[in-house]
Amino acid sequence: MDQNQFSNSSYPNTWEQQYEQQPVSVSPEYVAKYMTKVYGWMFAGLSVTALVAFLVASSPAAVAFFFGNKLAFFALLIAQIFLVGFLSVRIHKMSSAVATGIFIGYAGLMGLTFAALLLLYTAASLITVFAITAGTFGIMTVVGYVTKQDLTSFGKIMFMGLIGVVLASIVNIFMSSPTLYWIISYAGVAVFVGLIAYDTQKIKAYALLDSEEDRKKGAIMGALALYLDFVNLFIFLLRLFGGRRD
C-alpha cells in the first residue's frame, strides 16, 4: 500500500504562467463556484475508491486475485503510477472528458488497493480516522482558500519534505526500523496537511485560465491533487491511529 501513497501531481506551470501573462478578472463568486466543482470531482473520486474497495474486500475471489498474486498486485501499482504520470504530462493534448475518465479510472484502481485497508483495520478505526482526516482537510483547505499570503515558498518546502518522506520510506523497506516508521508517519501527516493548504490556493488560479476547456481540465487536475492529499493524509493517520484486526 505504501508504494501508492506518495503519488502527487502538480499542474503544468505553463498554465499558471498563462494567466499571469494575460490576467483575467473574475469575481470571488466565480472562483467559489469553480472550487465547488473541484471539490465535487474530488468527492466523486473518493466515492469511487470507497465503493470499489468495499466490493473487492467483500469478494474472496477478488481478494485472492489481487492480494494473493504478486504479479497482479505490482501490475496494479504500476498502472496507478502510469495513469497519474500520463495525465500530468499529456493534459495539454487531451480533452477534459478524457482527463475526467482517467481521473475516475485512477480512483477505481486506488479502490482495488484500498481494499487491503478494509481487511487489515477494524471498521471502527477506519471510520474514526476518516473523520479525523475529513476534519483536518476541511480546516486546511479553508486556510488555503482564505489566506492572503502567497504559499508558493511554503509549498516548495512541503514538496522537499515529501521527497524526504519518500526516500526515508524506501530506506526503511530494507531497514524495517520501527522508530523510523513512526518518524515517517508523523512527517507524512505534517507534509500532507501543509500540501492541502498549498494546493487549495494553487487551484484557485485555474479559474483564471482563458478558455473554458482549460478551466475544465484545471478542475480535474485540482481534484486529483486534493484527492491525493486526502488519501495520503488518511493513510498516514491510519498508520498512527488505526486499530488492526486480530
What digits encode the pLDDT tens for the residues 136-173?
999 999 999 999 999 999 999 999 999 999 999 999 99
CA distance 22 to 19: 5
Q: Would you say residue 180 lies in a domain? A: yes
Can you say how many angstroms the Cα of residue 236 is from the centroid of all Cα atoms in its chain?
12
Rg of the chain, C-alpha, whole Å = 18
Q: Would you say residue 190 lies in a domain? A: yes
pLDDT in tens, 75-117: 888 898 899 889 988 888 899 999 999 999 999 999 999 999 9
Cβ proximity of 8 and 162 under 8 Å: yes
3-state secondary structure of 11: coil
Q: Write down the residue that cell numbers 502510469 correspond to.
A: 82
How confident is the model at residue 7, as a pLDDT?
53
How confident is the model at residue 8, as a pLDDT?
52
Q: Would you say residue 2 lies in a domain? A: no
CA distance 235 to 242: 9
CA distance 115 to 85: 23
Q: Would you say residue 150 lies in a domain? A: yes
Q: Would you say residue 15 lies in a domain? A: no
Cβ proximity of 231 and 139 under 8 Å: no
Q: Would you say residue 95 lies in a domain? A: yes
Nearest to 35 by CA among 193, 206, 194, 196: 206
Phi, psi of 244 (to 5 degrees): -80, 150
Nearest to 123 by CA among 239, 231, 5, 243: 243
Q: Would you say residue 198 lies in a domain? A: yes
Cβ proximity of 4 and 185 under 8 Å: no
61 pLDDT more than 60: yes
Q: Would you say residue 102 lies in a domain? A: yes
Q: C-alpha distances in angstroms, 203 versus 1, 28, 56, 129?
A: 27, 14, 33, 26
Structural domain containing residue 158: 25-241
Q: Write down the residue that cell numbers 494567466 correspond to.
A: 19
Total tally of structural domains belonging to the chain = 1
CA distance 109 to 71: 15
